Structure 1
């Protein structure tokens, strides 16, 4: 989410390609079935390569049907999908950043799998945010593929050195700010340690790390249709004010204002940050000897939420092997795949009923992260990319004014956000 910034050019190319292919309506070949074992093709972006490859390898080792996975560089993924859609050469299966799934479902690129999903005995336990964004006009088109959640990490060793309770992380945004300030005041004099850090020049970073505090406080950032922005109102303005105060007091690290995204998660693993919002997927890659606490992101006075990112996956509308493709997709959300492939590798499971599985239960932090799948949100907006992720979009300018510039401009700048959402 925060490290993958789509271009307006890619969105434009998609629109042209979809027009050329008649909106991606499934052709006669979509109903073709094979009498023997078949090989289905699948595309995924590099950002989710590790999880996708593990699932494909595990499936291929136990099934007659096979899945051939192609990994495409993340920055090239949207244009590649657009070009393939225009030429009617999409693979049998393709995954997509969940935030952009509504663009694909609304243009008919995915096959309707409503009846198939309804037959899954665990349908009600599938990650609700991913399922919501994969629904278009009351029909289901995708399943959750990979999940990446935003949470607060804190460095227990730094907490202990600063006189804080290393076993007690923040439960409110106010406590987050207080603990970060204590770390800075007690340990930050030499410039090697900072209280907290965030991506201050990265639109997706703000979305991923700030918005959960709004949801935890019972607020929203947009209307349900994704056409009206609410970021000029409380509790968003309170969240902005908290981070603004931290920056002004020198608590946020010297490069927070310039951080564009690629390196924003690199400082915490080095032991340089006291407490900060991080992607849940980084927990498994932290230094083995590093003592880390994990807490849900909270609002100013409490509550819990998370931004549920990651990918969803579906069958392309032009697939010649929809039955074989579905056999793989259904297997990826089965108990076997979710526990023995995903949970075993410390990935977030895509089903709420498996949050406390045998692998996750060995680490209370992982159980907590899994439990947030039922509490978090993934915002819906057809114009999300151009509005919130594009570095030239209106959201980044608004957020930077709110945190580093003139907060009085937020109301005016929010009109530009609305215009972008309504284009």
Structure 2
């Protein structure tokens, strides 16, 4: 069995007091088990994420102090589709680990995730969650996970490059035609590519899917068993990329662009716009040193002027290993509630969390799609308003349209397999001027349907 990279936590309470923990992680009416409860917690931040690692360790120390009968080990291990089943079978999976939204349905159907209904009911954690997200983790009236992070896709742009090109950084494009116009203006006036597109590691298909959604299209039908992307919204999305690349010369010609390539290009001022979630603010500013003042985020562009934005949502769901017993499951849900959601339920926890992140140079509260109820999220932002180091005014083009946008989910089944079929399509459009878009989409749709049918 592979050994975890682990650290036993035996420290005392630090950033968050025992009073806060009592209200967040100790609310179960069940008596504590007589013996020790072993709990292996995954997704420990890496050493390079200094602010989040320090906060994680502070939270874990406080949680341990409140639960002396829990034998807690923290590991960096997270979701890996290639190894998940084997690690589960060998007993090497952490007790609690995060998985993408796209994976939860398959995990439930295959019995690879614990039924956490009793623990959820004991803690009351579901009562604070955004109702739009709860359905993702339920089946037959039972709960199988806790959403802990959600995002909505939008248009990320370099405010400084907009200014250099004579464009208003407070009024970014709202339609895809305007995106094309802005990209060409930026390229013509500054020499910098106006737009870039990630194309590899299934992320090419994921981002293209968001662009298809923004035009009113879908990747699959409502039940998730039929491919629907071989349609005009997908053709239009790809034709725009083709025309920016081959007609306007405003799209980066890199046909094999990884997420890191994209981040480095944008962070280095080599491209002005791309589509991703607002959380990209964190690695760009914290790891790559991109100036926070230059980061802009707007709602997804629309097909026509005056339409309300349509945005793709995804995120993280914390699950519990099906190998966990009842006591371990209870402990895992208590940890999820305390570590991931505690800041929304307690002003003391909210401010301690914000102070710890800010002290370490980490972004405090990046606007996006909240995992808790709107009222709780608004209260949270008020609690930490004087501590938030994220320039909310730079997110105004997104926030001003937040209430009007329609949020759609990722494919509920085999989402990553579907995205994988679209990566080569995006790559071909960027590298081959004569790419036959309808034929490419038809072939990808056949491959994606085969994946769904298996």
TM-score (norm 1): 0.77
1:92 aligns with 2:95: yes
1:232–1:411 contact (8 Å) kept in structure 2: yes
1:226–1:379 contact (8 Å) kept in structure 2: no
The alpha-carbon distance between structure 1 residues 61 and 108, as it changes in their structure 2 partners (threshold 3 A), is: same
SS at match of 2:232: coil
2:197–2:274 contact (8 Å) kept in structure 1: yes
Residue in structure 2 matched with residue 254 of structure 1 by the alignment: 253
Where do 5+ consecutive residues of structure 1 fail to align? 1-30
User: Could you tell me how far apart the structure 1 residues matched to 2:199 and 2:81 are?
Assistant: 25
Residue in structure 2 matched with residue 396 of structure 1 by the alignment: 423
User: Could you tell me how far apart the structure 2 residues matched to 1:378 and 1:56 are?
Assistant: 32
The alpha-carbon distance between structure 1 residues 155 and 206, as it changes in their structure 2 partners (threshold 3 A), is: same
Paired residues for 1:219-298 under 5 Å: 219-248=217-246, 249-255=248-254, 257-284=255-282, 285-286=284-285, 287-288=290-291, 290-298=293-301
1:408 aligns with 2:438: yes
SS at match of 1:313: strand
Matched length: 381
C-alpha distance after superposition, 1:296-332 (max 9, x if no partner):
1122224323333332112222213222222112223
Residue in structure 1 matched with residue 407 of structure 2 by the alignment: 376
Residue in structure 2 matched with residue 171 of structure 1 by the alignment: 174
1:144 aligns with 2:154: no
Q: Aligned to 1:303, which of 308, 317, 321?
A: 308
The alpha-carbon distance between structure 1 residues 352 and 241, as it changes in their structure 2 partners (threshold 3 A), is: farther
1:350 aligns with 2:348: no
Note the C-alpha offset of 1:48: 12
1:341 aligns with 2:372: no
Note the C-alpha offset of 1:275: 2.0
The alpha-carbon distance between structure 1 residues 240 and 68, as it changes in their structure 2 partners (threshold 3 A), is: same
SS at match of 1:310: strand
SS at match of 2:167: coil
- In the TM superposition, structure 1's runs of 4+ consecutive aligned residues that sit over 6 Å from their partners are 45-49, 119-122
The alpha-carbon distance between structure 1 residues 305 and 374, as it changes in their structure 2 partners (threshold 3 A), is: closer
Where do 5+ consecutive residues of structure 2 fail to align? 1-29, 358-362
1:44–1:52 contact (8 Å) kept in structure 2: no
Greater alpha carbon shift after TM alignment, 217-226 vs 166-175: 217-226
2:149–2:317 contact (8 Å) kept in structure 1: yes
1:146–1:312 contact (8 Å) kept in structure 2: yes
RMSD over aligned CA atoms reads 3.5
1:206 aligns with 2:218: no
User: Could you tell me how far apart the structure 1 residues matched to 2:92 and 2:32 are?
Assistant: 18
SS at match of 2:263: coil
TM-score (norm 2): 0.72
Residue in structure 2 matched with residue 216 of structure 1 by the alignment: 214
The alpha-carbon distance between structure 1 residues 380 and 90, as it changes in their structure 2 partners (threshold 3 A), is: same
C-alpha distance after superposition, 1:215-271 (max 9, x if no partner):
33433221123221111113222212211211112111232x232444222211112
User: Could you tell me how far apart the structure 2 residues matched to 1:116 and 1:41 are?
Assistant: 17
The alpha-carbon distance between structure 1 residues 55 and 373, as it changes in their structure 2 partners (threshold 3 A), is: farther
Note the C-alpha offset of 1:412: 4.2
